[in-house]
Amino acid sequence: MWRRRMSAAHCSSRGRRVSKGLLALFCLWGLLSPTCAARFGVSRQSFEVKKHLKRLNKPAVKSIQSPDGDVIDCVHISKQAAFDHPFLKDHKIQMRPGYHPERLFDEDKEPENPKQRVNPITQLWHQNGKCPEGTVPVRRTKAEDVLRASSVKRYGRKKHRSVPQPQSADPDLVNQSGHQHAIAYVEGGKFYGAKATINVWEPKVLNPNEFSLSQLWILGGAFGQDLNSIEAGWQVSPDLYGDNNTRLFTYWTSDAYQATGCYNLLCSGFIQINSEIAMGASISPVSGLHSPQYDISILIWKDPKEGHWWMQFGDGYVLGYWPSFLFSYLTDSASIIEWGGEVVNTEADGHHTSTQMGSGRFPDEGFTKASYFRNIQVVDHSNNLKAPKGLNTFTEQSNCYDVQMGKNDDWGHFFYYGGPGRNPKCP
């Protein structure tokens, strides 16, 4: 009632005793309608941004300042953005999966080749504290983050045509969409998850609206308007985060990136249960040329008991799950699994972008130079992790970014991938 009376009083002639400055503040705080906000010089865009920030940034039990400028809010697990979804209103949080896939590779064993040993990895915000149990760490969204998007509605969402389509390597489609890939993939069966260990780098991104990422895709349906996708990996995206840091990310969509889904926790959907790893937070340290190598393991699988899709980071961090009702095709299984790199090329002068993929080096340069995916596995109908059969590779322009597969006892199925983008053979 108070809110209604305030809106009515301050938007009428009877409220003239209150200063316009104070009224503008009320508008910005979301206490007044957009129409009222417009009367006092508060733009519609500012009003929508404030409203969106209020929706995303839930009240925090504790806040942690990260060295990279991020603020990590420790939000009570039941107050996270996932529960804004109407179908999750009475959802009982599942604190652990019903089943975990049986493992094929022992990730803890040291490789026989000492040159292929890698180092542990963490997130930058861990240097200044941790979130208490019963909360989840959420990267706070700033007004400038939202303002970099094409619209408030599109903030946190991918553009269309961002999934590699190996069967339709049409140069016209490649040039039109601007997305380029270097991937390995399997198709033609029913898949219930996938796993990989991904080498982490900090590729250079030429333009603020371009990005470079390395991820795995869990795909269901055809490459049409109803494509289902669950994605996770690392990315450098100045447009999304406002810097060039390498960050852990997830994504989901049930309609080919049109109206559903988002990055990380920027919409309702993914339910996080872990208090230690923050989606969208910076990964540290990263690999360097002829330097120590760092990688992350990501496992996504469908719980055969509840049907939800779970995500695990590393060996011990079960992060949370995508409820099965979010999807159509993926309520049953995935039909394609993809692993690899993606960049977007926005150069309009006829030249290729110099945005790097992976380490920015071609795959034939090998360990400590080129980036890699190792221990590539899929989850079968019996909930077992196993080596993929019929693994193929795909890239639109191998002179810009390429991929090369291999197999050995230490790394199982693996591939090196990436490249510099623009170079003498990719003008």
Q: What is the pLDDT of residues 363-383, one digit of tens each?
A: 999 999 999 999 999 999 999
| Residue the block writes with tokens 């108070």 | 2
Six token digits for residue 25: 């503040």
d(CA 96, CA 299) in angstroms, rounded, equals 15
Six token digits for residue 328: 């159509």
d(CA 121, CA 295) in angstroms, rounded, equals 7
Six token digits for residue 402: 């390429």
Of 202, 231, 338, 396, the catalytic one is: 231
The per-residue DSSP string of 185-251 comes to EEEEEEE-EEEEEEE------SSTT--EEEEEEEEES-SSTT-EEEEEEEEE-HHHHSS---EEEEE
48 is catalytic: no
Give the strand pairing for 247-253 and 262-263.
Answer: antiparallel
Give the strand pairing for 212-220 and 122-123.
Answer: unpaired
For the chain, domain boundaries: 2-42, 65-418
231 is catalytic: yes
* DSSP β-bridge partners for residue 180: 343
Of 210, 338, 342, 396, the catalytic one is: 342
* DSSP β-bridge partners for residue 65: 71
- Contact status, residue 380 vs residue 192, Cβ threshold 8 Å: yes
Identify the H or E element spanning 318.
strand 317-322
Domain covering 65-418, topology = Jelly Rolls (2.60.120)
Residues in the chain: 427
| Residue in 421, 410, 420, 416 with CA at minimum distance from that of residue 393 | 416
Coil, strand or helix at 403: strand
| Residue in 140, 337, 88, 96 with CA at minimum distance from that of residue 232 | 337
Exposure letters 24-60 (e unless 16+ CB within 10 A, then b):
bebbbebbbeeebbeebebeeebbbbbebbeebbbeb
Q: Could you tell me the pTM of the whole model?
A: 0.87
Q: What is the pLDDT along the chain (427 residues), one digit of tens a residue?
A: 333 333 433 444 444 444 444 444 444 444 445 555 555 445 788 889 999 999 999 999 999 999 999 999 999 999 999 999 998 988 999 999 999 998 755 554 555 555 566 677 889 999 999 999 999 999 999 999 999 998 998 999 987 656 787 764 443 334 446 899 999 999 999 999 999 999 999 999 999 999 999 999 999 998 878 999 999 999 999 999 999 999 999 999 999 999 999 999 999 999 999 999 999 999 999 999 999 999 999 999 999 999 999 999 997 899 999 999 999 999 999 999 999 999 999 888 889 999 999 999 999 999 999 999 999 999 999 999 999 999 999 999 999 999 999 999 999 999 999 999 999 999 9
